[in-house]
Amino acid sequence: IHQGMTSSDVLDTCLAVQLTRASDILLADIDALLAALKRRAFEHKDTVTIGRSHGIHAEPTTFGVKLAQAHAEFSRCRDRLVHAREDIATCAISGAVGTFANIEPYVEEHVAAKLGLKPEPVSTQVIPRDRHAMFFATLGVIASSVERLAVEIRHLQRTEVLEAEEYFSPGQKGSSAMPHKRNPVLTENLTGLARMVRSMALPAMEDVALWHERDISHSSVERMIGPDATVTLDFALARLTGVVDKLLVYPENMEKNLNKFRGLVHSQRVLLALTQAGLSREDAYRLVQRNAMKVWEHGA
């Protein structure tokens, strides 16, 4: 096999096959998550809850909208991964410095066709690592989306809020010391896993700047982050799908939290009504805010 080729021709092409196949697994994971999000979003399309900005009550929304937002985000994640897969599905069998000096280009074309890859248009001794950097950066973005939904669920499970909660199976323990605890352990775990996947994007970017036609500084990095990033994200997506699928939702608590400040969250509607009645916006804002602050301070 070593006729006019270099080791990188084989190794880089094999890595491309591995990463494209890993991408297919991850795409299937995202599809399963999207299906779960869609089902739960329709289930709660009319479940009214309070929207929060800066952690403070803002205006009403629905829990279905929250899940629809996550569905839209993971749809974008899927699109990004499709493009990253296309970019990484590249082979190079062009010899020691990429010039085809001792091997014919048709060999590269034949191998690419057999493996479902495309030839690298202009290679050195290796496939340029900007492709790999984009691939692992995409995994990092997907992991961040996993974390965003996980953190949302963690906040909603706080005792003072308790609008949604991870499924807690019979016999499960929340705390070794406090038997009453029902901790959001799965979404906390997902937060940590997302940090790990994101951390692997940076060394992939540092692999781009190899010396001249090639050095070996990228090899040790890719041997670790290749399997670790893809397997970790695969596990995280599967776990998040399970969390969404079994998520406990409490509409009664949502209604109670929504009404906590006795209609204060409709202040913008009052503001607009006053401006439409002829008040200047500044005067209307000042009037509504003055009365709203009384509710904040005195609860009435």
Which domains occur in the chain, in start order?
7-168+177-260 (1.20.200.10), 261-300 (no CATH)
- What residues contact 75, with CB distance under 8 A and at least 6 apart? 34
Residue with tokens 């509710």: 295
Active site residues per annotation: 54, 175
CA nearest to 92, candidates 216, 211, 8, 210: 8
CA nearest to 236, candidates 146, 149, 153, 148: 146
Q: What residue ranges in 6-91 does DSSP mark as E strands? A: 48-53, 56-62, 90-91
Q: Dihedral through CA 169, CA 170, CA 174, CA 177, nearest 10?
A: -170
Q: What's phi and psi for 58, nearest 5 deg? A: -115, -90
Structure tokens at 18: 């591995």
Amino acid 299: pLDDT: 67
The pTM assigned to this predicted structure is 0.93
Amino acid 98: pLDDT: 83
* Averages of pLDDT over each 10 residues, the chain, 300 residues: 82 96 99 99 97 94 98 99 98 87 90 94 89 98 99 97 92 80 94 98 95 90 95 99 98 95 90 94 93 81
Our measurement of the distance from residue 129's CA atom to the centroid of its chain's CA atoms, rounded to an integer in Å, reads 23
String of b and e for 133-149 (b: at least 16 CB within 10 Å)?
Answer: bbbbbbbbbbbbbbbeb
How do beta strands 56-62 and 90-91 pair? unpaired
